[in-house]
Structure formats: structure tokens, C-alpha cells
Structure 1
């Protein structure tokens, strides 16, 4: 079953269960998916939907941090409550060992020898770790390995 169908089914279930917060979050994700499909006139693949969900999670984390810094804990809690709903539809996160192994393989595969080759390594890693690990952390690890 495609990820889009899973999201639609979850949205219907949330509607039936009258889970307003969950329904709101799922509607927001479906709206983002639909917007991209209409803008680009394509049917999104699961990988593209995962990228959208990953972006939504990051936006929630950033917004929660900003609300927290501004002393608006009520709004920060609302943003943080949406994150687990979104994460249900992301693949299982990678462990630190799996990430290290993927980085080593990507460096070996691309023949990277310095920080100048970081783009090549990240290009190989991104499809493998999208939605399963924080790309910012991956970038830092790759940079440290290439130094």
C-alpha cells in the first residue's frame, strides 16, 4: 500500500474517531502533498512523500523551538504534539552504527578524499537516509570523516 493511501486511511480513521489534533495534522500533510502534485502536475512517489513529511517534522521542531524561546509554551506543545503523528509515516530511523556504515560505503564508492568531495558523498547518501536520519547530523559526520 502506498504511503499516500496510508495517509488517506489514517485521515479517515481520525475523522471517525473524532481525534481533532490528529486529523488536523494529517490534513496539513495531505494538503502539502496535494499542493506539490498540483504545482508540478505529477503523482508523488513514496520517496517524495517521505521528503515532504520529513520537512514537516523539521518545521514543527523549528517552530516549537522558536515558541519555546519566546515563552509561548502552549504553542510549542501544540507543535511538538504533531511530530509523533508525522513520524508514524516515516521509515524506521537508522542507528548510529548503520549511519557510520553507510557513510563509509558512500566515501569508498565515490572515492572521496577531501571536503571538496562532500557533495558527491551527500548525493549518494541522501536517497539512502532520507526520512531515516537528520541530514544536518549526517552532513557533520561526513565532513568530519573527510577532514
Structure 2
């Protein structure tokens, strides 16, 4: 079942359950996917759809951090509920040990020796962890491995 079909099914379920938070997040996600389809000019592949979901998740995570920094826990609480709904549509995140193993394997396979090879490592690694790890965390692990 594609992500679009899953979202439609979940939207119907949320409507029947009167779950306003889940319904609003699903509608927002469907709109973001539709906008991306218009932008690229063809139906989205699963990888492209996953990229859109990850982008929405990152926006919510940044919004939550900004709300907490502004001492607005009431707003952060609402965003936390949205994050929980979005997390349902992302693949299972990689554990720290799995991510470290992927970084080490990629550094070896690319033959990286110094920080100058960071672009090669990141280019090979990011498609492997798409939607399953935060880019900033991956960058920090690669920097650590190359130093």
C-alpha cells in the first residue's frame, strides 16, 4: 500500500474517531505531498514521498525547539502531538549503534581518510539513512570518524 493510500485510509479513520489532531496532520501531509507532485510534475515515488514526510517532521521538530526556547510549553505540547502522528509514517529510526556501523562501513567503502573526503562519505551515506536518521547527527558522526 502506498503512502497516499495509507493516508487516505487513516484520514477516514481519524474522521470517524473525531481525532482532530491526527486529521489535521494527515490533511497537512496530503497537501504537502500534492504540492510536491505539482512541483516535480509526476506522481511521487515512495522515496520522494518519504522525503516530504521527513521534511515535515524536521519542520515540526524545529518549531518545537523554537517554542521551548521562547518559553511556550503550551505551543510545544501541540507540536509534540503532531510529531507523534508524523512519526507513524516514517520508517523505524536507526539506533545509535546501527548508525555508527553504517558510518564506519561507508567511510571504509569510500576510502575516506580526512575531513576533505566528507562530501564523498555524506553523498554515499545519506541515501542509506534517508528518513531514518537526522542529517545533523549523521554529519557529526562522520566528522568524528574522519578526525
The answer for the alignment partner of 1:54 in structure 2 is 54
In structure 1, what is the Cα distance between the partners aligned to 2:144 and 2:39?
Answer: 38
Deviations 1:22-53 (A, max 9, x none): 00001111111100101221111111111111
Asked whether the equivalents of residues 57 and 83 of structure 1 are also in contact (C-alpha less than 8 Å), the reply is yes
5 Å-filtered alignment, 1:25-44, equals 25-44=25-44
**Structure 2: gaps of 5 or more residues:** none
The answer for the alignment partner of 1:73 in structure 2 is 73
Shift of 1:71: 2.5
The answer for the alignment partner of 2:144 in structure 1 is 144
TM-score (norm 1): 0.94
Shift of 1:121: 0.8
Residue 105, structure 1, aligned to residue 119, structure 2: no
Aligned length: 147
In structure 1, what is the Cα distance between the partners aligned to 2:4 and 2:136?
Answer: 26
Shift of 1:61: 1.4
Asked whether the equivalents of residues 115 and 143 of structure 1 are also in contact (C-alpha less than 8 Å), the reply is yes
The answer for the alignment partner of 1:19 in structure 2 is 19
What root-mean-square deviation, in Å, do the aligned CA atoms of Structure 1 and Structure 2 show? 1.1
In structure 1, what is the Cα distance between the partners aligned to 2:68 and 2:107?
Answer: 38
